[in-house]
Chain A
Amino acid sequence: MAIEGTLPVEETLQKIICKVTRNNNVVLNPAGTFKELGADSMDVVQIMVALEEALGIEIVDNELKSIPDMASFIEYLKGKVAERKRQSHAFYRSK
């Protein structure tokens, strides 16, 4: 089943995967993997770099090892974005 009602993180991820894999018909399957989307190992590196740039986060390779599927990866990304926002708010409150 495809993820529906896309939020910014999902949209961003989908756009980046489409661009990197040169396939505009990518559908994010919650139980799927990058490999199933036609992404090779260098494509995955490129996707991670693009996500870091687009979302302003840092993706830690060691943390990815325990992520089994696309749904978990999206949750991971959302967590990173929320963490960045929290840190950003804390920074401005301290000013």
Chain B
Amino acid sequence: MNRELAGKVSLVTGAARGIGRAIAIRLADMGSSVAVNDLPDNDEAVKVVREIGDSGGEAIVAPADVTDSKAVKAAVKQITDRWGKIDILVNNAGIIRHNLFLRISDADWDDVIATNLRGAYLCTRFALRTMLTQGWGRVINIASIAGITGGLGHTSYAASKGGLIAFTRGLASEVGVKNITVNAVAPGLVITAMTENLSQEARDAMLSRSALKRFGTAAEVAELVAFLATDRASYITGQVICIDSGVT
């Protein structure tokens, strides 16, 4: 069993389901203690913690709405009170609102940007403090190929993910000197609860461009994230790594 993250502490946002859940479980498999973040009162987050515990790992629920500065600060404090630090932050929490641009409501636009971009900003802002102090850290942002290619009917999502990619590159250049790497993972179409509402037309379009002629799995994304969290990825920073079956 690969335990190369033993002794590390990870915070994975939006980890109750989908890609976040797979990442939390994979990091725990590799020995990391894991804080499973999602919205408060999310029973699915408790299930993830239980699943990690049943496999011999260590995990806690760190509930917070990532758009709420005070809540994020409290969640980070909860983790540092428990384990003394955060080594690995995975900014995964995200939402999507499908609509053609001129039909997007202001509220939907703001919700998407707040969760996908402001959420990453807030979590990083608080988690980075312990990374700076210890002189080691990994920030891994879950972007999307939509942030590179755009896409019909999800302009707000694409804008938020494009922003997250720029955020990744900017932050990487700031904190590299402190031995903290910052990278983005940009999945193509991965079947999760968030993407299952895509139209068949959109799915078919994606599949036609997929070299492997299939959709990705959350576990495959988690494997890439886990690699970026290790010391084997110590010279990789400021990168956007697409995991999309050759779509981009």
Contacts and interface: CB of A to CB of B under 8 A. Distances in A.
Closest 7 CB pairs of A and B: A46-B132, A49-B129, A42-B177, A49-B132, A42-B178, A50-B133, A49-B133
B135 to A, nearest CB: 9
Interface string B158-201: 00000000000000001101100000000000000000000000
Interface string B113-135: 00000000000000001001100
Interface in A12-42: 40, 42
Contacts of B177: 40, 42
B129 to A, nearest CB: 5
A58 B178 CA distance: 22
A45 interface: yes
B174 A53 contact: no
10 contacts: A40-B177, A42-B174, A42-B175, A42-B177, A42-B178, A46-B132, A46-B178, A49-B132, A49-B133, A53-B133
Contacts of A50: 133
Contacts of B132: 45-46, 49
A46 B174 contact: no
B173 to A, nearest CB: 11
A79 to B, nearest CB: 22
A45 to B, nearest CB: 7
Contacts, number: 15
Contact of A53 (B129, B175, B178): B129
Contacts of B129: 49, 53
Interface in B19-47: none
A87 B132 CA distance: 28
Nearest to A50: B133
Contacts of B133: 46, 49-50, 53
A47 B212 CA distance: 49
Contacts of A46: 132-133, 178
Nearest to A47: B132
Contacts of B175: 42
A49 B133 CA distance: 8
A40 to B, nearest CB: 8
A72 B179 CA distance: 31
A50 B132 CA distance: 9
Contacts of A42: 174-175, 177-178
Given A42-B175, A42-B177, A53-B133, 12 more contacts: A40-B177, A42-B174, A42-B178, A45-B132, A46-B132, A46-B133, A46-B178, A49-B129, A49-B132, A49-B133, A50-B133, A53-B129
A50 B174 CA distance: 18
Interface string A37-68: 00010100110011001000000000000000
A45 B175 CA distance: 10
A50 B133 CA distance: 7
A50 B129 CA distance: 8
